[in-house]
Copies of this chain bind each other. A is one copy, B any other.
Amino acid sequence: MGFIERRKKVFEWMHQEGIDLVMFEDCEARRDQAVRYLCGQPGDALLFLSAGEKTLLMPWDIYMAQRHAKVDMLLEYSMYQLNPIKACIEAARLLEISPTGKIEIPACTSYPDFLKYVDTKSDYDFICRESGAAKLIETMRSIKDDDEIKLYRELSELTNHLIVFLEKAVSDGNLKTEDDVAIFIEKTCRRLGCEGTGFTTLAAGSDRSFGIHAFPPYTNGSFADKGLSILDFGIVLNGYTSDVTMTFTRGVLSKKQTEQLDLVKEAFDIAFSKSAEGVSCMKIAAAVDAFFKKHKVFMPHGLGHGIGLQAHEAPYLRNREQCDTPLETGMIFTIEPGLYDPVCGGCRLENDILLTENGAEVLTKSKIVML
């Protein structure tokens, strides 16, 4: 599905909802990949869609936008001093929105900024809600189309290529430190044709793997020494990221460490076996939480999340009411159970799952590597 088809869906929704103008904002403080999803512009821009089915992009960098964005109109954002409120009013004028038209601004607009929109003293009806355009795009993005699925199959192959290499290189002692591993990924993914990594690689040697997300993300300390080490990374192809976590163990493990690994592996299998069309994301996460509780351990994070143009997007596999939504064919998401202990260290196993008409499929081959 190309930008035109995606925008057509948005225009149809606008007609149904009686919205005259929708605004999306991707800026340093609030990244929103909806802009790239709808027109190809990779960052720092405002995107407007009008009920008259026109698209207007206001990028920070006009030369970049000329190369990346597919839109009807392009105007430098700096003409409006990078002020989203000024820019929005001007976009409404340029796109001939009726003076009393309904303008939907981003759901993450701050309360003080919302007041500034209202204070412009225009007669526009500014709408700021989570259930509107933001939700529409979130839902559209959560179900990948054929082209996106094809891309994810290719991306998963590249990710698996890296996984195999990493297992071998760490086993052979060719990657000894956290930064050896992280930098190997940075270098190799670009050689494989990727844009880069989808988030800062987390490489935590056994003295730091107790943290869910190690801080700093990686150091020049040793990796895959005695005990449990965690490596969480993703690589990006045409904007879309994979997201996997390997755990490396070395030496004789304590009873508790072995139990941790076994429970995490079993939790992964439980979650995967339940992943099917129509099953509630909350219920899958709840099943894993209950399994861990039965074994007197606790997972301090969600079970998984959708992946796409952002590393974390819908669907969210968490044991919370808001996540009581069904899995659907075309969704691509992670399953990533993990257990962490300040003495034993941590263990997480994360793979990317695609839900097809024939059931759930594990796209990536991340695993617990025992050295």
A-to-B contact residues, CB < 8 Å:
28-30, 42-44, 60-64, 66, 68, 76, 78, 81, 107-114, 128-130, 179, 182-183, 186-187, 190-191, 195-196, 200, 210-213, 215-220, 300-301, 312, 320, 340, 342
Which residues on the B side are within 8 Å of A29 (C-beta)? 30, 108
| Contact present for A42 and B215 (CB under 8 Å) | yes
In the assembled complex, which residues on chain B have CB atoms less than 8 Å from the CB atom of A186? 179, 182-183, 186
Q: Which of B111, B196, B213 contacts A218 (CB 8 A)?
A: B196
Tell me the number of copies of this protein.
2
Partner of A190, one of B43, B211, B220: B220
Q: In the complex, which residues of chain B have a beta carbon less than 8 angstroms from the beta carbon of A187?
A: 179, 183
A320 partner, pick from B61, B81, B107, B109, beta carbons under 8 A? B81
Please, which residues of chain B bring their CB within 8 A of the CB of A183? Answer: 183, 186-187
9 contacts between A and B (CB under 8 A): A42-B215, A44-B213, A64-B212, A64-B213, A109-B111, A110-B110, A183-B187, A186-B186, A190-B220
- Nearest 3 pairs of A and B residues by beta carbon: A111-B114, A190-B220, A195-B216
Q: Given known contacts A30-B30, A111-B113, what 17 new A-B pairs fall within 8 Å (CB)?
A: A44-B213, A60-B301, A61-B300, A62-B300, A63-B210, A64-B211, A78-B300, A107-B112, A109-B111, A110-B110, A110-B128, A179-B186, A182-B186, A183-B183, A190-B218, A195-B216, A196-B200
Alpha-carbon distance between A190 and B221 when the two chains are bound, in angstroms:
9
- Point out which of A43, A210, A215, A312 has the most chain B C-beta atoms below 10 A from its C-beta: A215
Q: State the CA gap A311–B196 with chains docked (Å).
A: 21
Complex: chain B residue closest to A212, CB-CB? B61
- Interchain CB contact (< 8 A) of A215 among B43, B81, B179, B300: B43
Q: How far is the CA of A328 from the CA of B300 in the complex (A)?
A: 44
Bound together, the chains give a CA A76 to CA B298 distance in angstroms of 12
Nearest-neighbor residue (CB-CB) of A115 within chain B? B111
CA–CA, A244 and B223, complex, Å: 31
Bound CA span A178–B300, Å: 38
Residues of B within 8 A of A109 (CB): 110-111
Q: How far is the CA of A62 from the CA of B218 in the complex (A)?
A: 19
Residue of B nearest to A107 (CB): B112
Q: Which residues of B contact A30 (CB under 8 A)?
A: 29-30
Q: Which residue of B lies closest to A179 (CB)?
A: B190
* Cα of A217 to Cα of B342 in the assembled complex, Å: 36
**How far, in angstroms, from A217 to B194 measured CA to CA in the complex?**
12
The residue that A212 contacts in the complex, of B28, B60, B81, B212, with Cβ under 8 A, is: B60
A215 to B59, CA, bound (A): 13
Task: Find chain B residues with CB under 8 A from A68 CB.
Answer: 215
B196 lies within 8 A of A220 (CB): no
Give chain B residues whose Cβ lies under 8 Å from the Cβ of A113: 111
Q: Are A342 and B195 touching (Cβ within 8 A)?
A: no
The answer on a CB contact under 8 Å between B219 and A190 is yes
Would you give the shortest CB distance from A321 to chain B, in whole angstroms?
Answer: 9
Q: Evaluate contact between A63 and B28: CB separation under 8 angstroms.
A: no
